[in-house]
Amino acid sequence: MASVENRLAVDLCGIELDNPVIPASGTFGYGREFAELYDIDILGTFSFKGTTKDPRLGNPTPRIAETPCGMLNAVGLQNPGVEKVISEELPNLAKIFHKPVMANVSGFSVDDYVYTCKKLDKQPQVGWLEVNISCPNVHGGGMSFGTDPSAAAGVTRAVKAVTAKPVIVKLSPNVTDITEIAKTCEDAGADGISLINTLLGMRIDLKTRRPILANTTGGLSGPAVFPVALRMVYQVAKAVSVPVVGMGGVFSAEDVLEMMMAGAAAVEVGAANLVDPFACKKIIETLPAAMDKYGIGTLKELKG
């Protein structure tokens, strides 16, 4: 029988991962807090906090609201900016994580994306650039890049022109046909697609009769979104030939297997890290038993 390491290994855009489990951007910071709890080298990789060209304080509070089977967040890309990430966060990361890391990038214009990706592409620790195109495009009337095929293609093409590392485009689920956006990104040169980002939602405080979130709306994550995420991963994996990274409500080893059966090459774990900081460690440790239960020899044979 193959060793545990070999059984769990997967390939993501030409880079081999020891296992498919990847903490999702925004739920794992830059790794420091989690490294105090366990050896984060057990992870396949992780996607670090969404990084923008300039520092951002994020949205006003309250920024989190609980919902049945999930949570709403409107943090607003709080981060120190790319220069500080390169000068401070990455050197600290090198001490605690000894594998290629996924750099998550957000922007408010094509120029923002190009600037940040070009900088991070030169960093030896960065294995992949995960380009989040579900942020508002302030230069295009407030439309999200990720909801407009031509805007999505424009960002993808521009980033690919200044980078050498694999570019994985992260898609918004808040669209009519996610396969159209995915195919457009693939045609523009994307090396991979990751999905889904959060679903747009809101809650109202019955006492104040006002939205709970200061931002009014926020992104819904957690187990509530898993069936939607699984459906979209399945559709996109059938529509494109590049690798797909699945995410959205993944809380268990069984969820990881389901995502991979739907076509995911690797799986990101988001809200689960906020509920239990050991979530990813537990998922990795219980994957072999879950595979045994369902007669799965290696994860590489499972995809799709």
Q: Give the 3-state secondary structure of the chain.
A: CCCHHHHHCEEECCEEECCCEEECCCCCCCCHHHHCCCCHHHCCCCECCCECCCCECCCCCCCEEEECCEEEECCCCCECCHHHHHHHHHHHHHHHCCCCEEEEECCCCHHHHHHHHHHHHCCCCEEEEEEECCCECHHHCCCEHHHCHHHHHHHHHHHHCCCCCCEEEECCCCCCCHHHHHHHHHHCCCCEEEECCCEEECCEECCCCEECCCCCCEEEECHHHHHHHHHHHHHHHHHCCCCEEECCCCCCHHHHHHHHHCCCCEEEECHHHHHCCCHHHHHHHHHHHHHHHCCCCCHHHCCC
Neighbour count for residue 136 (Cβ, 10 Å): 12
Residues 199, 175: Cα–Cα separation, whole Å: 10
- Residue 26 and residue 35 in contact, taking contact as beta carbons nearer than 8 Å: no
Catalytic residues: 135
**Ramachandran angles phi, psi of 229, nearest 5°:** -60, -45
Residue that the structure tokens 């990101």 belong to: 268
